[in-house]
Amino acid sequence: MAVTPLPKDAFGARVDLVAIAELVAPGARVLDVGCGDGDLLKLLEETRGVDGRGIELSQKGVNECVARGLSVIQGNADTDLVDYPDDAFDYVILSQTIQATGHPRQVLEQMLRIGRSAIVSFPNFGHWSVRASLGFLGRMPVTRNLPYSWYDTPNIHFCTIRDFVALCEDVGATIDKAVALNASGARMTLNAPWWFWNLFGQQAVFLLNR
């Protein structure tokens, strides 16, 4: 799905993926929704020893995953999550994908049904650079992380960190952990208030429970 280029750590792994991996308990059963070419699943297998599965929309992504030995099915987050039984996974992960889904709320509810926990990472539309683009230039933002023009973007449901927190409340999910990454991929201060994260966090990663 809509993966945006993000900084890498010293070992070449994308920092947002590392932030997700650190939330996953070793040996867990994991479903990665919108798994792309399988980078996160591979990272989780190698560093966390998970039993991983994936769903990916693009044929190219599925082929790459299958060739890497990952169990991935071609499918759509909006329509195919209903097919999974309750509690099938320890974690259901939606990495950089929620903004490209047709019905983010339903997707999140399905994730919390299928998995005991859900992990969601997304680009924060409340970041100051986005606000500046809209507020001062009056243009939809096109940045390194959000490289698409408004008319050809796959990202149809952007949200801010505060929007996402509100959605969690609406669906009755409890926020177990939250991490925000700044523009250079560094973790932001743990105890900062939401408004601070919402302004300066470029990426957010949430660990949710029912």
27 sits near other proteins (criterion: CB under 8 A): no
DSSP 3-state percent helix, strand, coil across the chain (nearest 5): 35, 25, 40
Helix 161-171 vs helix 104-114: crossing angle, to nearest 10: 60
Give Cβ neighbours of residue 169 (< 8 Å, ≥ 6 apart): none
Token match 């390194």: residue? 144
CB 84 → other proteins: shortest distance, Å?
6
Q: Site size for other proteins, by CB under 8 A?
A: 21
170 sits near other proteins (criterion: CB under 8 A): no
71 sits near other proteins (criterion: CB under 8 A): yes
58 sits near other proteins (criterion: CB under 8 A): no
- With CB under 8 A as the contact rule, which of the stretches 20-28, 64-72, 93-101, 170-178 interacts with other proteins? 64-72
Binding positions for other proteins, 29-48, rule CB under 8 A: 29
Runs of H (alpha helix) within 51-186: 59-67, 77-80, 104-114, 128-132, 161-171
Pairing outcome for strands 115-123 and 89-95: parallel
Q: Which is nearer to other proteins, 93 or 205 (CB)?
A: 93
Pick the binder of other proteins from 83, 169, 170, 176 (CB under 8 A).
Answer: 83
Residues engaged in binding other proteins (CB under 8 A): 29, 53, 59, 62-75, 83-85, 88
